[in-house]
Structure 1
Amino acid sequence: MIRRSAVLAVAVVLGATASRAETAALPVTEIASGIFVHNGVHEEASAANEDAIANVGFIIGDQAVAVIDPGGSFAEGSALRAAIRAQTDRPIRYVILTHVHPDHIFGAAAFRNDHPDFVGHAKLPGALAQRGDYYLRRLQNTLGEEASGTQIVPPTVLVSDTLDLDLGSRRLTLRAHGPAHTDNDLTIYDQKTRTLWLADLLFVDRIPVIDGSLLGWLKQLNELTTISADRAVPGHGPVSVSWPAAEEPEQRYLEAVAHDTRAAIKSGIGIANAYRQVANSERGKWLLFDEYHPRNVTASYKELEWE
């Protein structure tokens, strides 16, 4: 009996330890009063990083909390929720899904029991219907057991233009953008601290990924740079950067892709070989260049071929 009790006690301790490990708070940095951001790693998704490769975080108001991108898996979402609870017990009223890519939104299921509004671009449901199942299968294949609990959570509140959210003495302005990084990008502006959360409309250090429209992205950047902000939060890169200075390398890259792709098309270079000629001046300036630059050139070629 004593031995059995000891075994049970050890099991309870081990179970509690495992539970604590599963819900350990995600490391976050407070970049401005009440704004916390986790710095995603510059890697491809893997079981080791639980797809925690994007900058995600939350904003605390006097009455409620808004999550901005719940992370890339249920595991990351749970850790982000633990980070919130380490800071406040105020209700999590909103989970904002900035766009369809799984590294930003596949942690949403971790917040279901909080019964928040899940907020997304008006085109996000269509993008999830088209790609969600594929993204989920790919994540499960990549992460294995670390993908456990990850589910597709569609938005319950849609943004087609702008939407203001009140967290209590703190107003967030959400804006839906035209095709750029994707066709369903949202940005968030915190009026209290003049912080512009750009998600994947801004890449810093890591190469931008074109999954919407090259020309549209350049147009959106021109509009976004007119916003007066004390800081910006990129989807990938440091948790806080100066605005609008931080967008200059991204704009340079996108403009180089546009210019050189047009030149390749004019010269009769086919789509399969265009990446060898396009924006080579940018090589060495971006992380994961070889992984994503050829795809960017292919997407740009298809867009510009018939302009």
Structure 2
Amino acid sequence: MIVETAPDPGVEHRRLLFGTAYRMLGSVADTEDILQDAWLKWAAVDHAGVRNPKAYLVRTVTNLALNRLTSAQVRRESYVGPWLPEPLLTTPDVAEQAELAESVSLAMLVVLETLSPLERAVFVLREVFGYSTAEIAEALDRTEAAVRQTAHRAKAHVAARRPRFDTDTEERRRVTDRFLAACATGDAGAVKELLAPEVTSWSDGGGVVRAARRPLHGPDHVARWLLGVLAKPELAGVAIDYAWINGEQALLVRAPDGGVVGSLNFDIADGLITGLRAQLNPGKLAGLTLAEPWGPGGS
């Protein structure tokens, strides 16, 4: 006789829970820790008393992430150089869903970083996952009035800083192709032609590897920095491949032995690069070595 068992809600909703924690924390490593803690809490609870396992797990993950965010803010105050979110390999079809792609883009995660932990939790639950005010109030143990006020404040804050999001995949590929060709030949003029006048680049080395300690502004500074980095002897033999990272077509940098050593994401508007985000910190590359890239099931 075949005995059917109910699916484990922790496994069934893993993509949703991962997506919730990752958007709140901007860290793959912290997200995995949060999910592990949530599984332990789920294993210890009396399942018969949980009416809605999905809601219980979302509430657990959200509150664990809130606690982690508070301590993370203290750590980031002493971070060496620009802090960037940990990049995450995604499936190509994430880019086909504009709102989903935007919600996990590095540019959006950087904006979310400027919210308070509570604002970030409310924004993610309401604007990304569509939870009602009542559901969020229950999950965060707040009044509905407090949640509405926080949601309004967070939405206005994000709207004022929201990056322009270009969803034209073909255009992004054309610009990226030209960018790679210009970098390969060391042609500073060709690189600068692809950079918008207001372009800014951020490189996150965390004080572990060499990177610009401050954001760089303007085509001349950005182009000179890029070509200078690529000319370094320690980068001889690296391979630069296309990859889907945080819902965008980006570049993955591999060492001669195949190990991932960095990634580069672009903000593109009107055929020009307006922003570059280079993740070089070896401790923040785990999301680029996933056996199974994160996909739409996580929304």
Q: Normalization by structure 2: what TM-score?
A: 0.27
Q: Normalization by structure 1: what TM-score?
A: 0.27
Structure ranking higher in helix proportion: 2
